Amino acid sequence: MKLACTFLLLGALVSVGAAAQTPANGTAAKAPSACPSVLAHKFARLQDEAPQDLCQYAGKVVLVVNTASYCGFTGQYEGLEALYAKEKAKGLVVLGFPSNDFGQQEPGNAKQIADFCFNTYGVKFPMFSKSVVRGKDKNPLYAQLAQATGKEPQWNFHKYLIDRSGKVVASYPSEVEPQGPVLVAAIEKLLSAR
């Protein structure tokens, strides 16, 4: 009798364990993608300084942009947000990194920058705390991006494109518009690749 109860108990535990690993729709849970080295960094979120692991974007097409609130290219926030809103369901994420490296065009603190981005352009894509994006003190993500492409940002709103596997595939100068044909075509190509 004890042996039969033990087998019943073990069977129930195995059944519960299997149920816990299978989503309600009955499909097997997808294993998380390994984090590529270019995304293996943590940065403080702009709005509240909460640490964010960029590994959460593994498996997505990532567009990294250094931003500034008082630049001739600041209007690109609108295009970046529109691009993000249109393509995020397909796997695109835009990551914004405010920087005061160019012409002192991002002098504000985190709250001022966050309020400006949201209130002026409705920015909802992930934004991170102000950091250095060029020179010897650049943040580690930008160090990797520059090394992979051979190009550091020359001004605000420089863009780097990373494919789903974590490979840095392109670098675009500030003049390339977020919704311009060159960038949109490159993003769509990467989004359609599985």
Catalytic residue among 5, 55, 71, 117: 71
Pick the closest to residue 55 from 33, 40, 37 (CA basis): 40
Cβ-Cβ contacts under 8 Å for 138 (sequence gap 6 or more):
131, 132, 146, 152
Q: Which of 9, 67, 66, 62 is nearest to 33 (CA)?
A: 62
Q: Give phi and psi for 96, each to the nearest 5.
A: -100, 135
CA distance 162 to 86: 18
> 3-state SS of the chain: helix, strand, coil percent to 5?
40, 15, 45
Give every strand in the sheet of 61-67, ordered side by side. 92-98, 61-67, 159-162, 168-172
In the numeric block, which tokens belong to residue 48?
A: 């509240």
**Of 61, 77, 59, 79, which is closest to residue 69 (Cα–Cα)?**
77
What is the β-pairing status of strands 92-98 and 42-44? unpaired
Active site residue 71: yes
Active centre residues (catalytic):
71
